[in-house]
Structure 1
Amino acid sequence: MSEAGPKIHPQTLSVHPEDRITPGWDAVQVPVARASTVLFPDLASIRALNWRDDTQWRYGLHATPTSMALMQRLAAIEGGQHTLLHPSGLSSITNVYLAFVRPGDDVLLPDNAYSPNRELGDWYASDFGVSVRYYDPLAGEKIADLIQPNTKLIWIEAPGSVTMEVPDVAAIARVAREKGILTAIDSTYAAGISFRPLEHGVDIVVQALTKYQSGGSDVMMGATITSNSDLHAELKRARMRFGLGVSSDDCSLILRSLPTMQLRYEAHDRSALSLAKWLATRDEVEVVLHPALPSCPGHEHFVRDFTGAGGLFSIVFKPGYTSAQVDAFVEGLRFFKLGYSWGGALSLAMPYHIRAMRTATQWPYDGVLVRFFVGLEDERDLRADIEQSLNAHL
């Protein structure tokens, strides 16, 4: 045997490379660290692992340097301390239920909640012995009247993702905290830019990173963010037990988009508000539900708590227009495409029949609602597009 040791064959070298990468590499973007297996220097390191410790690397499913960078940045944007990533926004909502809701518990959901959250709550109620009740999203401190001894979780959505009511988040969170009840909010609309729920007393923030954080309409991901270490640990335990993880490649795409998120959000906001104000002057429109306008329920909470509105708002057509006419209007749009998941450069439109979606509150309008997401096209072209379709079909 020579001092260099025995000859190592090419196949083994391809598995055990003798890399000598020059140190000191630094770049604008976080490198993509893809991994399932994480290597340890010795057995003592493995045996000392503690799943609660976010500073330890254990397995690619739980975290990589790429996903950890994204988690830390999202926590900073939201004003929190801890973030967990999930395969979708709905997965993040589900993880809250998995972590904290048990048979016999009671959950309060706002009547304007994201429909998959409603469907999830109804499934918990029908199959898992959980009481799920819906409340008026504008209940504010009156939420106290609905609380039962077994109430475990109060969901909030600010604003409602279709009907746009803006709740008094601080009042609901204050009542819940006084009674020892957990609060979670779907704050995808604000993206941590125009509203920070943790600063208003909410325990857990859920974000669909698929929307503004991605900005490209090409990544599925969600996050839970909190400042409470114990809540974070329970969320982390549930995520770990159910094997939920995200791709480092997807994390890198969102990391690349974060520096432009506020600029994009403000651009969406300017165009959407301009269109909303114009639509409020149209004879075909009964009401414009844009949180920045006084016509939107909860507008006073928006003015008090929010600094912007992004690109999402709804209108309700006057009741004389049929569903078929409204459908034709939506399908007659050129630049507004049909689709659910907003937050990207492309504008979207979708009609809804709200009465069928309500169980706890009476929807006051008879006309068909259309939700718009205003993308990054020139606002003048979007206005002309809406006008031509209104003139052609209504």
Structure 2
Amino acid sequence: MSFTDHANNPFASLSPAVWRASTVVFDTFEDFVARKARQPDGYSYGITGTPTARGLEQRIATLENARHCVVTPSGQSALMTAVMGFVRGGDHLLVSDSCYGALKSFASNWLAKMGVDVEFYPPTIDAGIEQLIKPNTKMICLEAPGTVTMEMQDIQVITAIARQYGVMTMMDNTWASPLYFRPLDHGVDLSIEAATKLFGGHSDLLMGSISMNDSGYYDILRETQSILGQATSPEDCFLVQRGLETFELRLTQQSRTALQVAQWLEAQPQVQQVLFPALPSHPGHEIWRKQFTGNGCLFSIILQPASEAAFGAFFNALQHLPIGASWGGTHSLIAYYPASQQQSRAYSPTDQPIVRLAIGLEDPAWLIEDLQRALDGYAAFLG
């Protein structure tokens, strides 16, 4: 209920209520017998949510320009729930090689062993995806840009081909968020967000969301949420709602700082390449410029070749930037991905180690000063 509904609500608050419940009770025998008919929007058991979850789902759906939304306990659970709701043994699943690593592991280590024909495709294949579609292709999993290596995908081209062949598409849109890209407006069937990141915004919770327009898909995903036990905490739903109050303000500032830091890094002699679609030097810049309206706050860099000791000197010289694998919160983070990780991929754009930066709300000059210290430490190991 909105805080403006004074006529129907004797207690009006600017803050949404937290409804905690596992068990839902029913007024009559007939209501209980017909409890499944309450889904997908109603309440029959705590797994599928309380009014606190529904309020958050409605808010995310509005951001995504979607009719429906299902929230789940993490970004990875949203990806898994989206796939498990529709893909079965005997189906063919196409997954971008630059997708989130846990989704790729789930596909290769679990789905493939359950009879799903899993195929990883080059992230920049674009129109070439048509050559990979089989009669049993059920879904294409996209992510733009890629989680670590930041490849761009032509979403409009891929979704147009998918629709032509009756293939579903889902996209991890966490990097751009619906502020800078709305997948459903570009033909994607399911838009996935790791609400852990920008929606929550404070590095203190885990959550994911799946948004869509098709009511049939919504029915299936609500049932999948129930069967897989993908319940979300009402307290976490409240925290994400609170995070959304400052979401646009935070991302606007973080995006601006990210571009400034990326441009500075591109000019440093110790840096071989900056992987950031918002830079004209990025191979996917034109796709980003045409289809996206802004840049996220996450990017990667490839340093000039050196020993692992050099990377140790780089990271150990940092005085302020914390080392961590997540991103999207108010604090900047930095992470390391060894060369072996890129070399094990089928279609990686590099075989070198990668340093990934997540930009928070700190002063850009403060971040640049810390990164300069790290680069100076790294330079001592260069020839």
The answer to whether TM tops 0.5 is yes
Could you tell me how far apart the structure 1 residues matched to 2:137 and 2:38 are?
27
Name the residue aligned to 2:5: none
Is contact 2:40–2:218 with CA below 8 Å preserved after alignment?
no
Measure how far apart 1:352 and its partner are: 1.5
Q: Structure 1 stretch 176-185 or stretch 367-376: which is displaced more? A: 367-376
> CA 1:23–1:156 in 2, change beyond 3 Å: closer, same or farther?
closer
Q: Which runs of 5+ in 2 are unaligned?
A: 1-7
Name the residue aligned to 1:65: 51
1:108 aligned counterpart, secondary structure = strand
- Bigger radius of gyration: 1
Is contact 1:78–1:225 with CA below 8 Å preserved after alignment?
yes
Name the residue aligned to 2:357: 372
Is contact 1:164–1:313 with CA below 8 Å preserved after alignment?
yes
1:338 aligned counterpart, secondary structure = coil
Kindly indicate whether residue 331 of structure 2 is the aligned counterpart of residue 346 of structure 1: yes
Equivalent residues in 2 for 1:1-394 (5 A)? 24-51=10-37, 53-319=39-305, 321-353=306-338, 356-357=341-342, 359-361=345-347, 363=349, 365-394=350-379
Give a deviation string over 1:117-165, Cα, whole Å, max 9, x none.
1111111354211111111111111100111112111000011011111
Measure how far apart 1:40 and its partner are: 2.1
Is contact 1:327–1:351 with CA below 8 Å preserved after alignment?
no
Name the residue aligned to 1:5: none
TM-score scaled by length of structure 2: 0.93
Give a deviation string over 1:214-266, Cα, whole Å, max 9, x none.
01101111111101111111111211112210110110011111011011001
2:245 aligned counterpart, secondary structure = helix
Percent identity over the alignment? 38
Could you tell me how far apart the structure 2 residues matched to 1:51 and 1:83 are?
18
Is contact 1:134–1:359 with CA below 8 Å preserved after alignment?
no
> CA 1:328–1:219 in 2, change beyond 3 Å: closer, same or farther?
same
> CA 1:236–1:192 in 2, change beyond 3 Å: closer, same or farther?
same
1:176 aligned counterpart, secondary structure = helix
**Counterpart residue identity of residue 144, structure 2:** A
Is contact 1:84–1:223 with CA below 8 Å preserved after alignment?
yes
1:192 aligned counterpart, secondary structure = helix
**Counterpart residue identity of residue 266, structure 2:** A
Measure how far apart 1:331 and its partner are: 2.9
Figure out how many residues of one structure are paired with residues of the other and give that number.
371
Could you tell me how far apart the structure 2 residues matched to 1:88 and 1:181 are?
25
Is contact 1:318–1:367 with CA below 8 Å preserved after alignment?
no
Give a deviation string over 1:9-60, Cα, whole Å, max 9, x none.
xxxxxxxxxxxxx951111111111111222222222233334634422122
Could you tell me how far apart the structure 2 residues matched to 1:160 and 1:46 are?
46
> CA 1:23–1:195 in 2, change beyond 3 Å: closer, same or farther?
closer
> CA 1:366–1:62 in 2, change beyond 3 Å: closer, same or farther?
closer
Q: Structure 1 stretch 37-46 or stretch 83-92: which is displaced more? A: 37-46
1:315 aligned counterpart, secondary structure = strand
1:165 aligned counterpart, secondary structure = coil
> CA 1:189–1:225 in 2, change beyond 3 Å: closer, same or farther?
same
Q: Structure 1 stretch 39-48 or stretch 202-211: which is displaced more? A: 39-48
Is contact 1:215–1:257 with CA below 8 Å preserved after alignment?
yes
**Counterpart residue identity of residue 128, structure 1:** M
**Counterpart residue identity of residue 107, structure 1:** L
Is contact 1:109–1:132 with CA below 8 Å preserved after alignment?
yes
Question: C-alpha root-mean-square deviation of aligned residues, in Å?
Answer: 1.6
**Counterpart residue identity of residue 251, structure 1:** C
Could you tell me how far apart the structure 2 residues matched to 1:171 and 1:186 are?
17
2:178 aligned counterpart, secondary structure = coil
Is contact 1:49–1:56 with CA below 8 Å preserved after alignment?
no
2:235 aligned counterpart, secondary structure = helix
Could you tell me how far apart the structure 1 residues matched to 2:140 and 2:89 are?
16
Q: Structure 1 stretch 148-157 or stretch 120-129: which is displaced more? A: 120-129
Could you tell me how far apart the structure 1 residues matched to 2:266 and 2:274 are?
6
Give a deviation string over 1:185-205, Cα, whole Å, max 9, x none.
011112211000000000001
Could you tell me how far apart the structure 1 residues matched to 2:173 and 2:41 are?
27
Could you tell me how far apart the structure 1 residues matched to 2:222 and 2:320 are?
41
**Counterpart residue identity of residue 298, structure 1:** G
Could you tell me how far apart the structure 2 residues matched to 1:342 and 1:43 are?
48
